[in-house]
A = this chain, B = another copy of it.
């Protein structure tokens, strides 16, 4: 079903030059989107094999919506697209990092980033746009 070869074991997975994503029991890997210009972390989402394949092929960030149970081409309805400038994978290949050129806000609340609240002690403080 997945177009990718299976993960290797141990350090072979860390050092392979082959893309061998390690999908979890739900068939997903974590995907971090980071603004390619500012370095701001924008959001964390999920990809299944198809979403990852489409992201690689099209250069447009495509995720798996867990709430809708459907492929989610970022910005398809909102217009807030993410053009992928660079795509990276982590050591054990269960997470990818997308450096993107973001159009509009990345967050569904229309904020620039989903990480707009600081944890300070046990409470949250909202950060301004300048943060």
Contact = CB atoms under 8 A, between A and B. Distances in A.
Contact of A87 (B15, B43, B86, B118): B118
Contacts of A30: 30, 44
A130 interface: no
A117 to B, nearest CB: 5
A76 interface: no
A51 interface: no
Contact of A14 (B14, B109, B119): B109
Contact of A119 (B44, B89, B115): B89
A107 B91 contact: yes
A95 interface: yes
A125 interface: yes
Given A109-B14, A115-B97, A90 B43 contact: yes
